[in-house]
Amino acid sequence: MSFKQDSKIKFPKWPIFDENDVNALVNVIRSGNWWCGSPSVHQGENVWLFQEEFARFQEAKHCIAVSNGTVAIEAALMALGVGLGDEVIVSDYTFVASASAVIASNAVPIFCDINPESLVMDVNKIESLITERTKAIIPVHLGGNPVEMDKLMEIAKANNLSVVEDCSHAHGSRYKGKRLGNWGDAGTFSFQASKILTSGEGGAIICSSDVLADKIYSYTDCGRRKNDYSYNHYSYGTNYRMGEFQAAMLRAQLNKLPAQHKLRNKNAIFFRDKLNSIDGIQVMKLTPGTNECGYYFYPIVFEPEKFGRLTKEKFYKRLNENNIPTDDCYPPLHSLHCFKEIKLKKNIDYSKANWGGKKSNDKNFPVVSNIYSRSIEFPHEMLLSSENELNLVVEYIKSLK
Ligand SMILES: Cc1ncc(COP(=O)(O)O)c(C=O)c1O
């Protein structure tokens, strides 16, 4: 079967935009207020309003908008007091930023293997990674699928650890009745171009503690305090502010998100059931207790023996050749060059980490290494198409056998 010549297959292109997005940007240009100013003297309104609107969507008390999802994690860690030589437990199956933010805060990431069905951090493996240096855990809700946050929070409380949920894939995900990002001390989001809520670049941190929100705000706005003279700088801080253009775009995009989120959740059930009917395909299993999923992407794991021993690269390239957008998943963090070679920051001792040199051997991270070698991902915009289109994808996958 070839879709190239005769297929009616059409997936929405991401990002999806309309005149409301165009007007949002034009309005900022015309207003002449191209940055947000300070909390006491607003220049533009969009950043301040976006913070309120996104907090409402995520059912959070506070939201601090920042320039991207990487610095969102760093700011949360810094505000929680994570620093020099502290260890932070991070899922091994994620984008590099979940760990590079730990490096940026002068701490040491420790990688945790994954659950083979949900593909997120295996909470049963956390306790064995805790040492006297452990200060925090970063659960990453890969593809929007929740880490078992109730169990993780029990472990964190028992060991006095902070928790920063990396929700870069999990806008709108809900676990056991609570939106993700509200289980830990803080939840961080990315609005980078491929994300389900985007302004090209952007990020945010949500939290419930007033004290923590003030600290995060201060760190991301040059050490200032809210409603204070703007040349008073009370602590070490940097400029991670979001601009008005990003915030205006995000406000326009946020209006579209609830309907898109609903459609993705509906189509994901159809797609899952169809894919599950193919012998040799395993779909990402939602963690029991998941009420809604962000579905930043939809990973599947295949058994090469059931597909004529196809390699992963051939598997997704064949799909690409037929206009089906698929890609490789993230290489596990332990396998990245930067974590094999241990030349990250001067004067920081990475020798006790569970990666680097021989420790980065796949055998030490057996589940993620095995899953990675056989997994591919579909982008979230596929789940905004119709059942007819998703069915064609399923039929094509069957034809690869
Ligand atoms: C899991 C995860 N964490 C963090 C980030 C970092 O976000 P950003 O690219 O906005 O810095 C990303 C994004 O790409 C991500 O996928």
Tens of pLDDT, residue by residue over 214-271, are 999 999 999 999 989 999 999 999 999 999 999 999 999 999 999 999 999 999 999 9
Residue 5's pLDDT is what? Answer: 43
User: Is 68's C-beta closer than 6 angstroms to any atom of ligand 1?
Assistant: yes
User: Is 97's C-beta closer than 6 angstroms to any atom of ligand 1?
Assistant: yes
The DSSP string of 228-270 is S-TT---S---B-BPPHHHHHHHHHHHHHHHHHHHHHHHHHHH
- Provide the 10 A C-beta neighbour count for residue 231: 7
- Provide the 10 A C-beta neighbour count for residue 298: 25
Q: What is the mean pLDDT of the chain?
A: 95
Q: Which one of 147, 180, 192, 333 would you pick to mutate in the ligand 1 pocket, going by the greatest count of ligand atoms within 8 A of its CB?
A: 192
Q: What is the mean pLDDT of residues 75-90?
A: 97
User: Is 297's C-beta closer than 6 angstroms to any atom of ligand 1?
Assistant: no
Tens of pLDDT, residue by residue over 271-291, are 999 999 999 999 999 999 999
Could you tell me if 107 and 133 are in contact, meaning their C-beta atoms sit under 8 angstroms apart?
no
Tens of pLDDT, residue by residue over 291-321, are 999 999 999 999 999 999 999 999 999 999 8
Q: Where do the DSSP E strands lie in 93-180?
A: 108-112, 134-138, 162-166, 174-175, 178-179
Alpha-carbon torsion, ordered 20, 24, 30, 33, to 10 deg = 170
Q: Which one of 168, 197, 220 would you pick to mutate in the ligand 1 pocket, going by the greatest count of ligand atoms within 8 A of its CB?
A: 168
- Judged by average pLDDT, the poorest of 269-283, 316-330, 373-387 is 316-330
Tens of pLDDT, residue by residue over 349-370, are 999 999 999 999 999 999 999 9
CA distance 246 to 266: 29
Residue 4's pLDDT is what? Answer: 52
CA distance 4 to 274: 22
Which residues, including other chains, have CB under 8 Å from residue 320's CB and lie 6 or more apart?
326
User: Is 100's C-beta closer than 6 angstroms to any atom of ligand 1?
Assistant: no
> Which residue's CA is minimally distant from atom 7 of ligand 1?
69
- Token pair listed for 14: 């991401």
203 Cα nearest atom in ligand 1? 10
Is residue 359 helix, strand or coil? helix
Which residues, including other chains, have CB under 8 Å from residue 181's CB and lie 6 or more apart?
58, 60, 165, 167, 170, 187, 188, 189, 206
User: Is 119's C-beta closer than 6 angstroms to any atom of ligand 1?
Assistant: no
> Which residue's CA is minimally distant from atom 16 of ligand 1?
95
Residue 91 one-letter amino acid: S
Residue 8's pLDDT is what? Answer: 61
User: Is 146's C-beta closer than 6 angstroms to any atom of ligand 1?
Assistant: no
| 299 cis-preceded (ω within 30 degrees of 0) | no
Cα(158) to centroid(ligand 1), Å: 29
Terminal C-alpha separation, the chain? 12
Would you say the pTM of this structure is higher than 0.95?
A: yes
Could you tell me if 267 and 385 are in contact, meaning their C-beta atoms sit under 8 angstroms apart?
yes
Which residues, including other chains, have CB under 8 Å from residue 316's CB and lie 6 or more apart?
326, 327, 328, 376
Residue 212 one-letter amino acid: L
List strands edge to edge, sheet with 290-292. Answer: 178-179, 174-175, 290-292
Residue 249's pLDDT is what? Answer: 98
